[in-house]
């Protein structure tokens, strides 16, 4: 069976630009982590229901892969998709930590959508898959497009490729399970200070290396301070010179001589 790689990402920067109903609008640079990925494949089933074989703490219904299946089925009404999942399980070799700000769940969902599109010859474009993925999670669109680096805006649905050399990272993920909604709520209540249009334009046009060389951890990521406030144990894990991905809990830094 073919193995599909679901890559992790880091947020080089993540800034809040405003609100849209109950959501926050962002501008962020996502960069793919080429050395960290889950591996997905179709495998023989061991039970009658929708089956995911892998190390997950959530229920099937909470799993982003199952949510991606339901969203794809709703969008296509594909009988061949139903038959596929009656015949096969999805096997996941899980390497990306959960609750880590590295996009593991979103990447798994996007990879599943692309697997089904390829195997079943559904003929959906990346734009169509990204729209379907938006019903699963805010970061799914980035992983559907498969860019090395991109500026991501809106509530995650606007993905613009950013041409630059991909960096190699050291990543450290402490065992702190962070709730993204809790961090955003804390930001909104205690730290709300949206970025203006001029600063947004400047950030979108700077290379990731320039940004990391010129910004501190809290300047680069608006969610760092609220995460530290809500999860006091993070202070024990913070190290000078490291950056914070998403709402956490992962810290990262660029490896020396990391242009690959």
| Residue-wise pLDDT tens digits, 118-175 | 999 999 999 999 999 999 998 999 999 999 999 999 988 999 999 999 999 999 999 9
What per-residue confidence (pLDDT) applies to 257? 60
Whole-prediction pTM:
0.93
Of 30, 161, 42, residue with least CA distance to 111? 42
DSSP string, 19-59: EETTEEEEEEEEEEEEEEEEEEEEEE-SSSS--EES--SS-
pLDDT one-digit tens code per residue, 188-236: 999 999 998 889 999 999 999 999 999 999 999 999 999 999 999 999 9
Q: Is 9 a catalytic residue?
A: yes
- In degrees and rounded to multiples of 5, residue 28 shows phi and psi of -150, 150
- In degrees and rounded to multiples of 5, residue 151 shows phi and psi of -90, 125
Average pLDDT over residues 175-196: 93
Q: Which of 38, 108, 139, 222 is catalytic?
A: 139
Check whether 260 has a pLDDT greater than 50. Answer: no
Positive/negative CA dihedral, 50, 56, 57, 62: negative
Q: Give the whole-angstrom CA distance, residue 260 versus residue 200.
A: 27
Q: Which of 9, 15, 114, 206 is catalytic?
A: 9
pLDDT one-digit tens code per residue, 41-83: 999 998 889 999 998 988 999 999 999 999 999 999 999 999 9
Q: Is 55 a catalytic residue?
A: no
Domains: count for the chain: 1
Binding residue ranges: 97-107
What per-residue confidence (pLDDT) applies to 57? 84
What per-residue confidence (pLDDT) applies to 197? 86
Q: Give the whole-angstrom CA distance, residue 221 versus residue 158.
A: 19
What per-residue confidence (pLDDT) applies to 153? 95
Binding residue ranges for ATP: 97-107
Full residue range of the structural domain in which residue 30 is found:
1-260
How far lies 154's CA from each of 92, 119, 137, 246, in Å?
30, 31, 13, 15
Q: Give the whole-angstrom CA distance, residue 234 versus residue 220.
A: 17
Candidate from 35-39, 119-123, 219-223, 252-256 with smallest mean pLDDT: 252-256
Q: What is the CATH number of the domain that holds 168?
A: 3.30.230.10
What per-residue confidence (pLDDT) applies to 258? 45
Check whether 256 has a pLDDT greater than 80. Answer: no
For residue 125, count CB atoms less than 10 angstroms from its CB and return exposed for 0-12, middle for 13-18, buried for 19 or more. exposed
């Amino acid at each position: 069976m073919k193995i599909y790689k679901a890559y992790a990402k880091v947020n080089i920067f993540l800034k809040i630009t405003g609100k849209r109903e109950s959501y926050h609008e962002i501008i962020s640079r996502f960069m793919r982590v080429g050395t960290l990925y889950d591996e997905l494949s179709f495998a023989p089933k061991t039970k009658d229901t929708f089956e995911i074989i892998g190390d997950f703490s959530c229920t099937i219904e909470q799993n982003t892969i199952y949510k991606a299946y339901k969203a794809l089925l709703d969008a296509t009404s594909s009988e061949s998709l139903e038959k596929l999942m009656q015949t096969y399980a999805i096997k996941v070799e899980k390497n990306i930590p959960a609750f880590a700000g590295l996009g593991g769940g979103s990447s798994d969902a996007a990879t599943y959508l692309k697997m089904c599109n390829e195997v079943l010859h559904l003929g959906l474009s990346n734009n169509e898959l990204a729209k379907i993925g938006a019903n699963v999670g805010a970061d799914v669109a980035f992983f559907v497009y498969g860019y090395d680096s991109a500026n991501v805006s809106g509530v995650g649905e606007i993905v613009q490729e950013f041409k630059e050399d991909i960096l190699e990272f050291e990543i450290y993920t402490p065992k702190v399970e962070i709730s993204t909604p809790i961090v955003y709520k804390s930001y909104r209540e205690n730290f709300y200070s949206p970025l203006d249009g001029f600063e947004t334009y400047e950030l979108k046009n700077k290379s990731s290396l320039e940004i990391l060389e010129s910004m501190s951890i809290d300047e680069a990521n608006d969610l760092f301070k609220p995460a530290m406030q809500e999860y006091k144990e993070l202070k024990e894990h913070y190290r000078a010179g490291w950056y914070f991905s998403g709402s956490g809990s992962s810290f990262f830094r660029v490896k020396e001589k990391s242009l690959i």
